[in-house]
Amino acid sequence: MKYLVFFFIWICCIPFVNAQDKFKFGEAPEDLLKMTVYDKDSTASAFVVYESQDAYYTWNNGCMDFELVTDYTIRIKILTADGVDQANGSIFFYKGANSASTEDISGLTGWTYNLDNGKVVKEKLSKNYVFIEDVTKNLKRMKFALPAVKAGSVIEYKYSFRSPFYSSPKNIQFQRSIPVKYSCFRIAIPEYFKFNREVRGYESIKFKTTPVNMSFHIGANPLQCLGEETLAEVVDLPALKDENFVWNYNDFMTGISFDLQKVIVTGVYYKDYAQSWSNVVEGLMNHENFGSKLKDKGLFKNELAALPVSQSGDEEKLRAILNLVRSKVKWDDNNTLYINNPSKALKDGVGNSGEINSLLFNAVKNAGYDANVVAMSLRSNGRIPLSYPSRNKFNYFIIQVKAGDKTYYMDATRPYCDLNVIPVDCLVDNALCIQGKNFTWVNLTQTGSNVSRTNLSVSFDKDGILTGKKTEVRTGECIFSFKQDYEKSKDEAEYTRKLETNNDISIADYNINENPASLAETYNFTSNTVRLGGENLFTIAPLLFETMQKNRFKQEERKLPVEFSYPVDERITVAFSTPKGYVLDEAPKSERFIYGDDQSIDFSYLVQTSGDNVQIAYCLKLNTCIIPANDYANLRDFFSKVYAKCQEVLVFKKQ
């Protein structure tokens, strides 16, 4: 039979266990409405009382093919005002050119329950609060908001999700940012299909498998077969707590995914779906919206010939090409792996990331350089599951260029990208560098040289007010981060006002000076609060507003690894003039702390005195991005010493 290969049946016939027996959609127990604190987590703003995902395959006579239907139900208890945002739901779905490539959401029903003078009051989700918006051309999002939600409410909703993309089941995610009291997923797999199952996260999932007899119809033809039912349940699942320095929490949420490996009908049919990374690369390079768009040999021919860099070095040439592409096409804020229409993007002057970086790739190739594409899943999209080769998770690519003995990574979407300065979202630990039919995995977290050099010259004026000058020179990703922060303000005046407020200073003569590889920021400042008052002893933090403001690794335990944005070499030098009429009485001692046998993090703090001057040199070299959770205690101890050192003060004694 033509469609036998697609007999992946998900049957929902396992009886509910204890937690499920008590659930009835449309009725909220009064004791649940009276609850004010969740006994498993007193800090929870809300918790999932019940959640079920029942998926199964049906035959669509209109399309003459199978489709995957998922019936979804959830009930949530709101405990505090901070939990009210749980009432805002969103469901992503794909809309193609016809019904055979379009997903559908139906039967969306929701209720809000409240207690009013001891009486249960329920309000239904209104169609007026259901909206559909475009995310991209084909990706849509249904958004809805349940009514009258407040602390104490119980909310619930359910819907059916119908998809023709049955060969790519969605991942099941049990864990959330709020606790989950009970959640289940049910699946039955006929004997013809062989799956790999991957379990993610740190919490346990209870599985129960049972052999079953299965039957269904395709048209008028009945089919009976054996199968295996699997029930996956979690009970009292804790929230994944909000911890600093995590690229994407979904990478660590407890859940499961299924990967179709093969279809076997003994003596009739065999199909191997298992992919290798070589298959993935071959599929991408043969894809009409990827590999075929990377072969425009005539692109930018005249513009490249006109670039005034014929005798320059490779860096200047590549930077000129990068600037050429950016001057022609602006980014439309859409990230994509696939390349739609580069020619149209070039004509219109605007395009998505795939179109812009394909133009960059072709321009670099046409200039005679050895260039490759580097496909990835952005940090914001979550890590690629390396155990299951597939291109489904990829959603972006940049360009790698080999020039002499140097390697450069390039991205043309943002105006402040440069050679080896790519968006921080691209700095992933595993990206697929495609070299024709070959490939290698590359770690982009170590891309470029990220340096911050700050110099402070500090003294007291005749009125005893602290004044000074700051100069900070940035390179690499430090420029990228600065520009992103700077552009959140509408202009320079607003940005400097934020600096003044945050650092309690007044700023004058603010200036930014850029060259292709660095950015220098300078300004004069006057403290709004630090001044001499005639006291016998005067103390001051020598790093002033540049000092470490808080220790972000104070918690005793941590489940997740620590993921820094990027390696960085940060140095702060302070030249401090002793206030007139005072002498230095006490100063911090010079010290050095090292984390890791490989010196993953190196901290030094040097203090030197000469006559009436004190010089402090702070240096923190972060040589890695990822610290495993099992070494968190050592990292915590390291930063507790660094933080304590930064709180030490200079003490001046009146003569």
CATH number for the domain spanning 616: value is 2.60.120.1130
**Are 360 and 477 within one domain?**
no
pLDDT confidence of residue 319: 93
Which among 445, 471, 487 is the end of a domain?
A: 445
User: Please, which pLDDT band fits residue 361 given cuts at 50, 70 and 90?
Assistant: very high
- Provide the residue range defining the domain that includes 318: 277-445
Nearest to 84 by CA among 35, 147, 173: 147
Q: Which residues contact 188 (CB under 8 A, 6 or more apart)?
A: 9, 10, 11, 12, 13, 56, 212, 214, 227, 228, 229, 230
Whether residue 240 sits in one domain with residue 292 = no
Q: Give the global pTM.
A: 0.84
Domain at 98, CATH number: 2.60.40.3140
Residue 97 CB burial class (10 angstroms; 0-12, 13-18, ≥19): exposed
Give the mean pLDDT of the chain.
89
Same domain as 163, residue 33: yes
**Average pLDDT for 78-107:** 92
441 plus 456 within the same structural domain: no
The predicted model gives 188-215 an average pLDDT of 86
Are 511 and 470 part of one and the same domain? yes
**Mean of pLDDT values over 529-555:** 89
Q: Identify the CATH number of the domain in which residue 426 sits.
A: 3.10.620.30
Rounded Cα–Cα distance for residues 467 and 469 (Å): 7
Q: Are residues 412 and 475 in the same domain?
A: no
Instruction: Look at residue 420 and tell me whether its pLDDT is greater than 90.
Output: yes
Q: Among 653, 570, 564, 579, which Cα is nearest to 614's?
A: 579
How many Å from the N-terminal Cα to the C-terminal Cα in the chain? 99
- Specify the pLDDT at position 8: 33
Q: How far is CA 383 from the centre of its chain?
A: 9
Compute the average pLDDT of residues 335-356: 93
Q: What is the pLDDT of residues 209-240, one digit of tens each?
A: 999 888 777 777 777 888 888 899 999 999 98
The two three-digit tokens of residue 19, written as one number: 């937690």
Domain shared by 173 and 93, yes or no: yes
Both 394 and 530 in one domain: the answer is: no
pLDDT category at 474 given cuts 50, 70, 90 is: very high
Q: Give the tens place of pLDDT for each residue, 295-330.
A: 877 788 788 877 775 556 889 999 999 999 999 999
The pLDDT of 178-188, averaged and rounded, is 93
Same domain for 386 and 293, yes or no, is yes
pLDDT band at 7 (very low <50, low <70, confident <90, very high): very low
Question: Which percentage of the chain shows pLDDT scores above 90?
Answer: 65
Number of domains in the chain: 3
Do 489 and 597 belong together in one domain? Answer: yes
User: Quick one: 260 and 331 in the same domain?
Assistant: no
The rounded distance, in Å, linking the Cα atoms of 461 and 506 is 15
Q: In this structure, are strands 350-351 and 568-577 parallel, antiparallel, or unpaired?
A: unpaired
CA angle centred on 425, ends 139 and 430, rounded to 5°: 100
Q: Is the pLDDT of residue 15 over 50?
A: no
Does the pLDDT at position 613 exceed 80?
Answer: yes
One domain for residues 297 and 175: no
605 vs 464, 502, 588, 608, CA distance in Å?
27, 24, 9, 10
Question: In this structure, how many other beta carbons lie within 10 angstroms of the beta carbon of residue 470?
Answer: 24
Residue at a domain's end among 390, 410, 445: 445
| Model pLDDT for residues 150-159, shown as the tens digit of each residue | 999 999 999 9
Token digits for 469? 């000058």
In 3D, which of 207, 203, 255 has the Cα closest to residue 232?
A: 207
Evaluate whether 353 touches 338 at the Cβ level (below 8 Å). no
Question: Which pLDDT tens digit goes with each residue over 25-69?
Answer: 999 999 999 999 999 999 999 999 999 999 887 777 777 777 888
pLDDT digits (tens, 9 = 90+) for 546-575: 999 889 898 888 889 999 999 999 999 999
Domain termination site, one of 416, 445, 474: 445
